[in-house]
Structure 1
């Protein structure tokens, strides 16, 4: 199997975010399947390869390596720079607007994102590899002294300025506005976790790629009230494993949240749902996906693609043909 080079702009600092942590987790999992190294391309870091140095100094055979690109805003530029190399796009969020040639396989972290690329790049190889829920996220059966937990990052204006102030008058609300060293422990102290990111991602112009926090909270026994945008729709099922936040009115949200708080029972997450996101399943899927992609790269070395791309020009042509057929039938 070809060696993988995972490209990230940096491993911390201004690049720190959920997408980066998810990418680094995938890199660690990939090392259990094949040879893999981490490479930065914006921020030089100690004990980490830097892309420009790697290209200039390494005498490797380009046919025997694969670069994994995943930082949405940088993908078009990186893909152009490494156009002579084997590339895999590890797609988190959707909606960046760029297209990719069919010789770049796409691995998506959610079925929501997979559907986006299935429409956007119908001639590409596309696979689904969910993000990992780390083993520390499970129900410790602790006493839950926090009624409602919310993190300010990505939260809607409604959540921060209306719902939370109103809830604080009725129950114990804990607001997180920064890094949490042990999020699993905090989730295990919490009865209800609130997550409302639709407004945030609408402003960014791209989708919620996966939404780790609601899944991690559920794994720890929290009842989740969440938006259902983007990748969250993969696993959240209102009325069955969660409740929809921002439902009709502030008063209705408060009524439903307090009912759950007063029940004082932990959420029991079905093992069949959680197992999909644990390491054992992801490693099995990753091994199969990388094996198939490696076989594809072998094939593509001696065979060119010959399926017409679904470009804007081709869509216009197809629409014109459809209209013409309707006219001629009349």
Structure 2
């Protein structure tokens, strides 16, 4: 197995967010299977190798570089054109293409479907994000009625729903980084998350949506949007409630009704199992073994399947129309 280098722009606060934490979690799992290391490429840091320095002493066939930062992907693909590369795809909508020589690992089925259409000749795999073991229902007293995710939230949630709910219950805003998010979820009865507007404004998609799943694991009742990857695991009426349902008053009544029922969400182990360590290690082993084998064979193979380029699509469209026209003309003779 070749050594894996997980590329991130940096690890300091300005690069912090779900994408960085998700990559670090997968890196920690990968270390249990093979040699793996974090590498920065924008910001030089004392604790990690810097990509430009690393490439000066790297043989192209000895390692695999895993790239994931959406806006940087085209530049990284060009920079690493002589090296083995994996694209770990989170959000979609960046409007770049990935050559078929680069396998794609997707963190959601929504993203897998996107790349299955956009890059049909690539090796494509599904590896969901990791729910750490600390996210479970601890059975503690819940002194927060409603916990609200501020980042990525809609104007409706922050400007209309939150002020209304404040009049009826103990509501807390989650505005920044929290050291122990699992503890906060275990103090909360209901968790609100509404990211559809944020991603629509930025013309991107929710890559995975880890917080609602972590909240469910901790026993929170979840009210959430179900855009993009959230639809992978959220099932309104069964394991969550849809937020922003037609009317502010409808939302308020539903949330207060669930709050007054005083029932915690009970998640089954089978529901959470695909996102836990044991299952992800099994998937990682299979995925990395197959990709490593693919790279062993790649130098002997010819990429001879036509890509769905814009030119190819136009050609196929005209061929399809011509075929239909020919069939129609024959039927009238």
TM-score by length of 2: 0.97
Do residues 286 (structure 1) and 299 (structure 2) align?
A: no
Residue of structure 2 in register with 1:14 after alignment: 14
Distance 1:186 1:15 in 2: 23
Aligned to 2:331: none
Deviation at 1:13, TM superposition (A): 2.1
**Structure-2 residue corresponding to 1:193:** 191
CA distance in 2, matches of 1:151, 1:119: 32
Structure 2 unmatched runs, 5+: 329-333
Matched residues in 1 for 2:155 and 2:47: separation? 41
Among candidates 91, 101, 104, match of residue 103 of structure 1? 101
Aligned to 1:266: 264
Q: In the alignment, what sits opposite 1:29?
A: 29
After TM superposition, the structure 1 = structure 2 runs for residues 69-84 of structure 1, keeping only pairs within 5 Å, are 69-84=67-82
Report the counterpart of residue 160 of structure 1 in structure 2.
Answer: 158
Q: Distance in 2 between matches of 1:151 and 1:229?
A: 16
User: Number of residues paired by the alignment?
Assistant: 328
Tell me, in whole angstroms, the C-alpha distance in 1 between the residues paired with 2:282 and 2:174.
Answer: 35
| Aligned positions of 1:129-148 closer than 5 A | 129-148=127-146
TM-score calculated relative to the size of structure 1? 0.98
CA distance in 1, matches of 2:37, 2:46: 14
The aligned residue for residue 299 of structure 2 is: 301
Counterparts of 1:230 and 1:64, CA distance in 2: 36
* 1:61 CA drift (Å): 2.6
Q: Which residue does the alignment assign to 2:314?
A: 316
RMSD: 0.8
Q: Distance in 1 between matches of 2:135 and 2:116?
A: 32
Instruction: Give the gaps of 5 or more residues in structure 1.
Output: none
* In 1: Cα distance, 2:10 partner to 2:144 partner: 35
Are residue 68 (structure 1) and residue 66 (structure 2) matched?
yes
- Give distance in 2, aligned partners of 1:328 and 1:89: 43
Kindly provide the CA deviation profile for residues 239-273 of structure 1, in whole angstroms up to 9, marking residues without a partner as x. Answer: 10001000011011011101110011110012111
After TM superposition, where is structure 1 displaced by more than 3 Å over at least 4 residues in a row? none
* SS at 1:49 equivalent: coil
Please give the per-residue CA displacement for 1:280-324, whole angstroms capped at 9, x wherever unaligned: 100110000000001111111111111000111111111101111
Moved more, 236-245 or 172-181: 172-181
Match of 1:46 in 2: 46
Structure-2 separation of matches of 1:70 and 1:180? 24
